[in-house]
Structures are given as structure tokens and as C-alpha cells.
Homo-oligomer: A and B are copies of this chain.
Amino acid sequence: MNSENFTLSEKIVSASYIRQASEARRGHEQLIRHLLEQRKCPEEGWSEATIELFLNELAVMDSNNFLGNCGVGEREGRVVSNMVARRHYRLIHGIGRSGDIAAIQPKAAGSSLLNKLTNSLVLDILKMAGVRSVKSCFVVPMATGMGLTLCFLTLRQRRPKARYIILPRIDQKSCFKAMITAGFVPVVVENVLEGDELRTDVDAVERKICELGAESVLCVHSTTSCFAPRVPDRLEELATLCAKYDIPHIVNNAYGVQSSKCMHLIQQGGRVGRIDAFVQSLDKNFMLPVGGAVIAGFEEAFVQEISKTYPGRASASPSLDLLITLLTLGASGYKKLLSERKEIYVLLAEELKKLASAHGERLLHTPHNPISLAMSLDGLRADCDQAPTQLGAMLFTRQVSGARVVALGKEQSIGGHTFRGFMSHSESYPCPYINAAAAVGITRDDVALCVKRLDKCLKTLRKEAKPLQSSSPLPSPNSS
């Protein structure tokens, strides 16, 4: 309501009440003003009422919501289903233009504002989460894998002769396909085993660069967040190498925003060496529906280049979800989530340690992995070959999701490349194991239930196993 309408209201409801209401409305507007001025995530979260008010305001700025609009184009933001219109808060025009996913749209000032603000807010959050030197970023409505592909396609235009992408081994299909889809040949560099941890073999990477010739390497493609016992790549060393050989460096930071360690690695890599872009998932870091990523970098020009590589408009849905979520949480709310996650990570480690010891197994020692943990399953190996798979199925049936059982010796071919010991990031990891992660949003209940059910499954498996064996595989003292 503008001031004129407030004045009219004074004739209907007593003036002093209306004045107070108008004053109170200003409170909501101040929040919006602050947001428009600062373009940062507000410290305190907003109420649903304020967020909806703001989204409604954005919606009426788009031409499809103009009362007097007449449309004779091929795309006019018309929506035939009311359910669809509502669930998008009537923001229909998406984001970007033909030339650039970050561009503003003449037909949709509100959606454009939403897009710009969301990108600003998430930039602020990336800084807060540890990459203080990040310069620019933007949301794309595609998951991490396709986001990486977009980075590689952008680099192609800069390095037309390059054919290879060097990947310190990570056993994850999407990021591998991301390179193949972009038309490049992934060159996998095996990790080294340090204690229980699998870590980047930096020397091998350098050797590979020399072997292939720097100009034929599109980029080094490193990874932070990953399943234990692999740990985040040695970003500082890799970034230094990339700077030395003038090779681009793209980091898959899939769910690393939630970990100060991962973010610190990127910040350091960017400081001492070269990181061209790092890509993170919206769903995994910000608890959104699957399907969005943030592409960020230390140099505005390159980030813009990527955004201009996206051909055409795109869905505003992930941006909208992110904006709602960041305004709901506020910076303080997000920080709180992150610190709770950290605490529960410690709890999960303790609980798994206890469980491991009770079953004659051990929690693998992977201090460099801040999110994922692994517990050995040596007992199962002794029992029976199918045991790990069976354990996986049992956990699935008991509604334990995300606990990933890794057997030994699996082979898998992806895009022509054969991975031996697939899923374990290593050709021959010493033992089978089970992963559990403490990702943002995890609760103490998740930990308690998971450990309890896992305990039951392990007991059941052992019982089933016994009759088949002459000597029962008692936990040996040296296994823990």
C-alpha cells in the first residue's frame, strides 16, 4: 500500500491505528531496502511474511503480471495451470537472456532482480564460509556435474588445442562424465595411501603434465569433498603446479561449502596458486531440491565468460529456492547449521568408533576428511563375498539412507576408462568398509538410528555367517 492508500484507509479505520500499521510496514520495507543496498545475506533471517511480501513485490515487476500488458511474442510468461503459477510465485520468465545467463531481461525486472540478488547473497555466503577472496559467482540451474561441463566448455574456447583433463582419482560418475560430455579425455592420476587416507599424488600429476605437454592439458580437475578414506585434494600444491605450468584449474567443491576445511583449501589454493573456478552444489550445501549449482571464481572476467557460455535463458527455480532459503536462515542461521554439523560429525565419529570396536572393526583414521567417515568391514570379508552387498541391501530395507558399503575389487568402465577397485578411489584399498557422512542438516537422531540399525545388521550377518564357517572370525586384537 502506498501512502495514498494508507490515507484512504484512515477514513475507514481510525487514523492512529493506520499510522501505526504504516509505520510497521516500513519495518518490512527497511529489511528490503537493506537487502537492496547491501546485497548481502541479512544477519538475521526474515519471517515468511516478509519473504512472501518481497516475492510478491518481485512478481508484480514482471510483465506477465502487469495488469495492462498485451503480449504478441512467442514467450509471454503465460501459465495455464494456476498450481504452477502459484508455486513459482508467478515469477515465470526465468533468468538470463540469449547471450548470458546472468543478463537482465526487459520483460522481467523482478526476475532479473531476483537473479542478481541471489548471486550477490551467495557470494557473500561463500566469503563467510571461508573463501574470502572469491570475486564473482552465479547460480546455474544444473547440478554440479553439468556445471563442471560448462566450465570445461568455456575453457575450450581459450585453449583450442587442449585435449586432456587431469583428474586426481575420484570414483564418482558425474564428474567423470562431465569431462567426457565436454569432449575431453580424462587422465586419471591414482592417489597415494598415507596411513588410512588416500591423498593426491602431486608428483604424479606434475609428471603427467610434463608427459602430455602443458598446452594439451585443458585443466587440472581437483576435488575437495569426497567419501573417506579419500580426503580432499592437496589444493595448494595443485594450484601452485597449475600456476607454474599456466594450466587452468577447476575445483569440484560439490558439498564443500559446509566445511570450513574445504573452503580454506580453496582460499589457500587461490592465494598461492591458480584456481580458475570452483563449483558447488546447491542441494548439498544449502538443503535445496536437487538441480542447482554455484560456479564461483577469483576473477570476475572468467566467471562472466562462463555465464556467457550458457546458451539462452534458464530456470529461476534454484535461484528462487536459494533466495528463500538464505533469507529464511540469515547468515547467523546458516552459521548455526554449519557449527551443528561440525558437532554431529564428531558425534558420528565417536559412535562409529564404539560400534567398530564392538564388532572387531575400526574407524579408519581420516582426519583430513571433514565430512565423511569410513569404518572397516574386515569381518564381512572373512565371512562371505556377498556380505558387503547384503549389508547394503539390509540397510536400504531398514531405511538407512546414504550409508555406502564399499566392497573390494569391483571393476567399472565409464566412458572408455576402466576403474579397478571402483568406489574406493584406489586400485586396491586394504579393506572393505562402510561410509557415513555428517552433512549439513544431519540430526543427532540420524546418528543414533543409523548406528543402532547398523549394529543390528552386523549382528544378523554374523549370525547367518557362523554356521557356514568352521572357525568363527573372532575379532583379532590387532584389528582395532
| Interface residue stretch chosen among A296-304, A392-400, A465-473 | A392-400
A83→B174 contact, CB < 8 A: no
A358 at interface by CB-CB < 8 Å: no
Report Cα–Cα, A21/B109, bound state, in Å. 7
A402 at interface by CB-CB < 8 Å: yes
A445 at interface by CB-CB < 8 Å: yes
B289→A316 contact, CB < 8 A: yes
Q: For residue A153, which residues in chain B have a CB less than 8 angstroms away from its CB?
A: 149, 181-183
B18→A1 contact, CB < 8 A: no
Report Cα–Cα, A401/B98, bound state, in Å. 17
Report Cα–Cα, A332/B40, bound state, in Å. 39
Chain A 213-247 residues near chain B, CB threshold 8 A:
225, 227
Q: For residue A157, which residues in chain B have a CB less than 8 angstroms away from its CB?
A: 180, 183
Nearest B residue (CB) for A45: B81
Chain A 86-98 against B: per-residue CB contact (8 Å), 1 yes, 0 no? 1111111111011
A315→B289 contact, CB < 8 A: yes
Q: For residue A183, which residues in chain B have a CB less than 8 angstroms away from its CB?
A: 153, 156-157, 182-183
Could you tell me the distance in whole angstroms from the C-beta of A11 to the nearest C-beta in chain B? 8
B315→A48 contact, CB < 8 A: no
A73 at interface by CB-CB < 8 Å: yes
B25→A83 contact, CB < 8 A: no
Q: Which of B9, B178, B314, B316 contacts A113 (CB 8 A)?
A: B9
Could you tell me the distance in whole angstroms from the C-beta of A159 to the nearest C-beta in chain B? 11
A453 at interface by CB-CB < 8 Å: yes
B348→A72 contact, CB < 8 A: yes
Report Cα–Cα, A25/B281, bound state, in Å. 30
A76→B106 contact, CB < 8 A: no
A210 at interface by CB-CB < 8 Å: no
A146→B72 contact, CB < 8 A: no
